[in-house]
C-alpha cells in the first residue's frame, strides 16, 4: 500500500487520540487469565489489535465486537497459538505468561527479530523460570511447563516492558508473592496492573521500580477502558510543530507526555497543557536539541523517528542517541532521500538542520519510521509517496482522515 502526502501544509484544528495500542495488546493477552466475561472499551481499529484478537480466537476465546467495545467470553482450549499469527506481531509473545499460569504448559513461536533489532526474550524466560517453569526450545518454539507457579523475587537486568508485563500476568495466578525488581515504569504497565486488579488481582507498585504481585486463585469478570495512546498523541504534537501550525490534541494524559513536551518547548514550540488536552503551536524557528531515548519517564524510543523528522528543519545541528534498541535508525536512509543531512555514528545520529526538504518516493520500514516519513512529507516541497504504508496502519487509527481533518492533503493510493 502507498500513501501520497502533499507537503508544506500547516496543520490546524482538533484531533482526538484513541486508546493506547501498547496498553491494549497486553490487556487483551491478560484476558486469558479468566474465563468469565470481560469487556474492553474504546478499542481502536488498528492492525495490531486485529492480530492479537485473532491470536485469542485461535486459543478458543469467543470474541464479539460491539461498536468500539470487545466482549470476550469463555476460556482457552489450546496452548499453542499458530505461528502464522504469532510472527505478525511480537506482542503475541505476551500470551505466554497468562497461558503458562492457566494451563501449566505452553508453546509459542520465538518472535524473532524485526526491523528495529534482534529483540531477545531472555528476560521474559528468566522470569518464568524464577516462577518455577521449565523452559525448552523445539522447532523454533519456546515451550514452558510448570505444575504450579510459585512467587519469587525477579530482578530484571533491563526494565523491559514486555518482560515486566509477561511476568506480571504469570505471577497474578501464582502461589505466593512475586516481586519484579527493576521493573519497567511505563504507563502501559500501570494500565495492565489496573486491568488485572479490576479482575480481582492483587498487584501493587506498578509505575515504581518494584512491583508486588500477590497471586490469587482465580480472576473474575470485568469491564475496562484502557489509557489514551501517548505515542499517537506525540505524533500529532510533532506534526503540528513541524508544519508550523496549531493543533489541539484531545483525550490525552499530559503527565504521560512530559518528555515529549519538554523537548518540544526546548525547540521553541509552544505547548499548553489542559486537563485532558494539549495545544501545540510553533511560529518561531526550530532550535536544535539533544535527545537520548530512555525507558519511561525518559524520552520514548517510539517517538525518536518522528522527532528526528522534525529536527531536520532546525536552525543548527541536533544529536539523537538511541539507547533502547540497537538498530532503530532505519528511517534515516529514507529521510536522506528527501534531502535531509544526517550522519550516523553507532547509536547516535547528527542531524544538520536545513531550510527545506524535497518530496521523494520513500519506504516505511516499520510503524514509527512510517509516521516519521509522514511528518517529513507534510513539511517537504512537493508530493511525497510513502510505500509500505501498511506499517503505519498497524498503530494509528484513521491517520489519513485525522491528518486531512487538520488540513493536510494525504491520499491512499
Active site residues: 114
Nearer to ligand UD1, 302 or 334 (CB): 302
Which alpha helices (DSSP H) does 172-291 contain, by range? 187-198, 230-243, 258-266
Closest by Cα among 107, 30, 104 to 72? 30
How far, in Å, are 108, 151, 171, 174, 317 from residue 128 at the CA level? 14, 10, 9, 11, 45
Using the rule CB under 6 A, which residue among 232, 302, 366, 397 binds ligand UD1?
Answer: 302
The phi-psi region of residue 141 (left if phi > 0; otherwise alpha if psi is between -120 and 50; otherwise beta) is: beta
- 47 interacts with ligand UD1 by CB under 6 A: no
* Strands of 267-357, DSSP E: 270-273, 277-281, 290-292, 317-321, 341-345, 348-352
Which listed residue (121, 172, 173, 380) binds ligand UD1 by CB under 6 A?
Answer: 121
Binds ligand UD1 (CB under 6 A): choice among 24, 46, 52, 123:
123
CB 111 → ligand UD1: shortest distance, Å?
9
Question: Does the N-terminal peptide bond of residue 297 adopt cis geometry, omega within 30 degrees of 0?
Answer: yes
Looking at the Cβ atoms of 27 and 278, the one nearer to ligand UD1 is 27
CB under 8 Å to 139, separation ≥6 — which residues?
A: none
Binding residue for ligand UD1 (CB under 6 A) from 103, 124, 256, 331?
124
In angstroms, give the least distance from the CB of 296 to ligand UD1.
7
Least separation in angstroms between residue 413's CB and ligand UD1 is 27
Interface with ligand UD1, residue 249, by CB under 6 A: no
**Contact pick of 22, 194, 267, 384 for ligand UD1 (by CB under 6 A):** 22
The answer to whether residue 318 forms part of the interface with ligand UD1 (CB under 6 A) is no
Contacts of 131-138 with C-beta under 8 Å, sequence gap 24+, read 131/167, 131/170, 131/171, 131/174, 131/178, 133/100, 133/170, 137/110, 138/107
Q: Is 324 in the site for ligand UD1 (CB under 6 A)?
A: yes
246 binds ligand UD1 (CB under 6 A): no
Q: What single-letter DSSP state applies at residue 75?
A: -
What the block records as the C-alpha cell of 309 is 523528522
CA separation for the pair 315, 277 (Å, rounded):
29
Give rounded-to-5 percent helix, strand, coil for the chain: 35, 30, 35
Name the minimum Å distance from CB 26 to ligand UD1.
7
Site track 86-105 with ligand UD1 (rule: CB under 6 A), x = hit: ----xx--------------
Q: Please, what is the minimum distance in Å from the beta carbon of residue 157 to ligand UD1?
A: 8
| Nearest residue relative to ligand UD1 (C-beta) | 162
Identify which of residues 135 and 336 has a Cβ nearer to ligand UD1 in the complex: 135
Q: Smaller CB distance to ligand UD1: residue 203 or 324? A: 324
Please tell me whether residue 20 binds ligand UD1 under the rule CB under 6 A: no
Residue 211, helix vs strand vs coil: strand
Min dist CB 227 to ligand UD1, Å, is 12
| Contact between 119 and ligand UD1 per CB under 6 A | yes
Using CB under 6 A as the binding rule, the residues of this chain from 138 to 197 that contact ligand UD1 are 158, 160-163, 184, 188
Nearer to ligand UD1, 27 or 237 (CB): 27
Q: Contact region for ligand UD1 (CB under 6 A) — 1-9, 117-125, 255-263, 264-272? A: 117-125
How far from chain centre, in Å, is Cα 147? 33
Task: Give the C-alpha separation, 155 to 126, whole Å.
Answer: 9
Write the DSSP assignment of 16-38 as a string of letters.
E--B-HHHHHHHHHHGGG-SS-E
User: At closest approach, how far in Å is the CB of 221 from ligand UD1?
Assistant: 25
Shortest Å distance, C-beta 328 to ligand UD1: 8
Query: How many other β-carbons are positioned within 10 Å of the β-carbon of residue 394?
Result: 20
Q: Give Cα separations from 41 to 32, 66, 81, 151 (angstroms).
A: 17, 9, 25, 31
**Residues in the site for ligand UD1, rule: CB under 6 A?**
22, 25, 90-91, 117, 119-124, 158, 160-163, 184, 188, 301-302, 324-325
Amino acid at each position: 500500500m502507498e500513501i501520497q502526502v502533499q507537503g508544506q501544509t500547516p496543520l490546524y484544528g482538533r484531533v482526538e487520540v484513541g486508546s493506547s495500542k501498547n496498553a491494549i495488546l497486553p490487556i487483551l493477552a491478560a484476558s486469558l487469565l479468566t474465563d468469565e466475561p470481560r469487556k474492553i472499551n474504546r478499542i481502536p481499529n488498528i492492525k495490531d489489535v486485529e492480530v492479537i484478537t485473532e491470536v485469542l480466537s485461535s486459543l478458543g476465546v469467543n470474541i464479539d465486537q460491539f461498536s468500539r467495545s470487545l466482549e470476550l467470553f469463555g476460556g482457552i482450549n489450546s496452548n499453542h497459538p499458530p505461528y502464522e499469527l504469532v510472527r505478525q506481531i511480537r506482542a503475541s509473545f505476551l500470551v505466554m505468561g497468562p497461558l503458562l499460569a492457566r494451563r501449566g504448559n505452553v508453546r509459542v513461536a520465538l518472535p524473532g527479530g524485526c526491523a528495529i533489532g534482534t529483540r531477545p526474550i531472555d528476560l521474559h524466560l528468566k522470569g518464568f523460570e524464577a516462577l518455577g517453569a521449565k523452559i525448552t526450545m523445539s522447532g523454533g518454539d519456546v515451550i514452558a511447563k510448570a505444575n504450579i507457579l510459585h512467587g519469587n523475587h525477579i530482578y530484571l537486568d533491563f526494565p523491559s516492558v514486555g518482560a515486566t508485563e509477561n511476568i506480571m500476568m504469570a505471577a497474578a495466578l501464582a502461589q505466593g508473592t512475586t516481586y519484579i525488581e527493576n521493573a519497567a515504569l511505563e504507563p502501559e504497565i500501570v494500565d495492565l496492573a489496573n486491568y488485572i486488579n479490576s479482575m480481582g488481582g492483587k498487584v501493587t507498585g506498578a509505575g515504581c521500580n518494584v512491583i508486588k504481585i500477590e497471586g490469587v486463585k482465580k480472576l473474575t469478570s470485568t469491564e475496562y477502558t484502557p489509557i489514551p495512546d501517548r505515542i499517537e498523541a506525540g505524533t500529532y504534537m510533532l506534526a503540528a510543530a513541524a508544519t508550523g501550525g496549531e493543533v489541539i490534541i484531545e483525550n490525552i494524559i499530559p503527565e504521560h507526555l512530559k518528555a515529549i513536551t519538554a523537548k518540544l518547548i526546548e525547540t521553541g514550540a509552544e505547548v499548553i497543557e489542559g486537563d485532558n488536552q494539549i495545544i501545540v503551536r510553533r511560529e518561531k524557528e526550530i532550535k536544535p536539541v539533544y535527545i537520548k531515548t530512555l525507558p519511561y519517564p525518559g524520552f520514548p524510543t517510539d517517538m525518536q523517528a518522528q522527532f528526528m523528522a522534525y529536527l531536520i528543519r532546525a536552525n543548527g545541528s541536533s544529536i539523537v542517541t538511541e539507547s533502547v534498541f540497537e538498530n532503530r535508525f532505519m528511517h534515516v536512509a529514507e529521510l536522506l532521500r528527501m534531502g535531509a543531512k544526517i550522519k550516523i555514528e553507532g547509536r547516535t545520529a547528527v542531524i544538520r538542520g536545513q531550510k527545506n526538504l524535497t518530496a521523494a518516493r520513500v519506504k516505511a520500514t516499520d510503524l514509527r519510521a512510517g509516521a516519521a516519513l509522514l511528518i517529513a512529507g507534510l513539511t517537504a516541497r512537493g508530493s511525497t509517496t510513502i510505500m509500505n504504508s501498511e506499517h503505519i496502519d498497524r498503530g494509528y487509527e484513521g491517520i489519513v482522515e485525522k491528518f486531512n481533518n487538520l488540513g493536510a492533503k494525504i491520499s491512499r493510493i
